[in-house]
């Protein structure tokens, strides 16, 4: 096992995105006096964070419907990405997002079940530009997490699809992109809370101290002599056990920040045990 360097924070990268979290479609609940037919829609409380505060109600609420839009379109136009929903039901019967509901139907929108069943195992992730600290924590506990702080939306979606990765983001609009295969909204503002959320939802197997926190490459043991030129004199005198990233060549050792990193790993192990127990 190898203790890695301190996990630094990153400033959130910002870029303009059409279709962000605050946007609602023409079928949104804010419309008044509409002539469209209506549906009655009830959202699981776990999904209320995607809705305007005044629309967070336990009872089913009327929503305008044009008579032709699919269930998935209606749900997303009201603010909730389909990546965050479980099996939709129409008048108590399971329904696909592509189906068209009958006028006046009652639609129930549950939250995705945790841990979430996935078509890929073990799950691997691609993180949006504002989740760099989460990416390093996932790598610390041995979960593959690709990350770039300057990737744009189309590139993120293409890479996630090509590599079969789950795109993690806090951008609602990005999750609503029609061509995205696998995605998830990350809850929480603190990196440790975000890590717990991802581990609870996907329950990936953990292998702490086995991935490079800088590039996600696997770590392999290395003789001290092979990396001596990469080490400062004090490190060469103090430590004898090292690993090196097989991708970028960065060395790792049991360093001064052991206690901080072990606390992150221990907390992740507890969350994982609850999720898989």
Residue-range definition of the domain harbouring residue 153? 130-276
Q: Both 154 and 236 in a single domain?
A: yes
Model pTM?
0.86
Q: Both 147 and 258 in a single domain?
A: yes
Q: What is the pLDDT of residue 134?
A: 99
Q: Both 71 and 153 in a single domain?
A: no
pLDDT in tens, the chain (277 residues): 444 443 444 334 444 454 444 334 433 444 443 335 899 999 999 999 999 888 888 899 999 899 999 999 999 999 999 999 999 999 999 999 999 999 999 999 999 999 999 988 999 999 999 999 999 999 999 999 999 999 999 999 999 999 999 999 999 999 999 999 999 999 999 999 999 999 999 999 999 999 999 999 999 999 999 999 999 999 999 999 999 999 999 999 988 778 899 999 999 999 999 988 7
Q: What is the pLDDT of residue 36?
A: 52
Q: Both 100 and 135 in a single domain?
A: no
For residue 122, tell me if it sits in a domain.
Answer: no
Q: What is the pLDDT of residue 12?
A: 41
CATH number at residue 76: 3.10.20.30
- If one counts the domains in the chain, the total is 2
Model pLDDT for residues 188-230, shown as the tens digit of each residue = 999 999 999 999 999 999 999 999 999 999 999 999 999 999 9
Sort strands 106-109 and 37-43 into parallel, antiparallel or unpaired.
Answer: parallel
Q: Both 164 and 49 in a single domain?
A: no
For residue 176, tell me if it sits in a domain.
Answer: yes
Which of 63, 80, 109 delimits the end of a domain?
109
For residue 2, tell me if it sits in a domain.
Answer: no
For residue 88, tell me if it sits in a domain.
Answer: yes
For residue 20, tell me if it sits in a domain.
Answer: no
Q: Judging by beta carbons within 10 Å of its beta carbon (0-12, 13-18, 19+), is residue 202 exposed, middle or buried?
A: buried
Enumerate long-range contacts of 175-183, CB under 8 Å, 24 or more apart: 175/81, 175/82, 175/83, 175/84, 176/19, 176/76, 176/81, 176/82, 177/19, 177/153, 180/83, 182/83, 182/118, 182/119, 182/120, 183/81, 183/83
For residue 115, tell me if it sits in a domain.
Answer: no
């Amino acid at each position: 096992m190898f203790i890695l360097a301190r996990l630094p924070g990153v400033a959130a990268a910002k870029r303009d995105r059409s279709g962000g979290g605050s946007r609602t479609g023409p079928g949104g609940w804010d419309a008044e006096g509409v002539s469209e037919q209506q549906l009655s829609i009830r959202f699981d409380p776990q999904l209320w964070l995607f809705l305007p505060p005044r629309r967070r109600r336990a009872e089913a609420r009327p929503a305008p419907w044009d008579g032709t839009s699919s269930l998935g379109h209606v749900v997303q136009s009201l603010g909730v990405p389909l990546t965050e929903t479980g099996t939709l039901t129409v008048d108590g019967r399971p329904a696909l997002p592509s189906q068209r509901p009958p006028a006046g139907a009652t639609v129930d929108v549950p939250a995705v079940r945790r841990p979430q069943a996935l078509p890929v195992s073990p799950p691997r992730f691609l993180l949006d530009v504002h989740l760099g600290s989460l990416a390093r924590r996932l790598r610390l506990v041995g979960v593959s997490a690709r990350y770039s702080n300057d990737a744009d939306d189309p590139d993120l979606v293409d890479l996630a699809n090509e590599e079969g990765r789950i795109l993690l983001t806090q951008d609602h609009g990005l999750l609503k992109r029609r061509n995205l295969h696998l995605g998830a909204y990350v809850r929480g503002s603190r990196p440790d809370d975000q890590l717990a959320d991802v581990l609870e939802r996907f329950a990936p197997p953990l292998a702490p101290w086995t991935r490079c926190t800088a590039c996600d490459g696997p770590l392999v043991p290395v003789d001290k002599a092979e990396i001596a030129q990469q080490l400062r004199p004090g490190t060469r005198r103090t430590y004898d056990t090292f690993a090196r990233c097989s991708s970028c060549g960065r060395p790792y050792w049991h360093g001064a920040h052991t206690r901080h990193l072990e606390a992150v790993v221990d907390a992740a192990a507890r969350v994982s045990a609850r999720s898989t127990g």
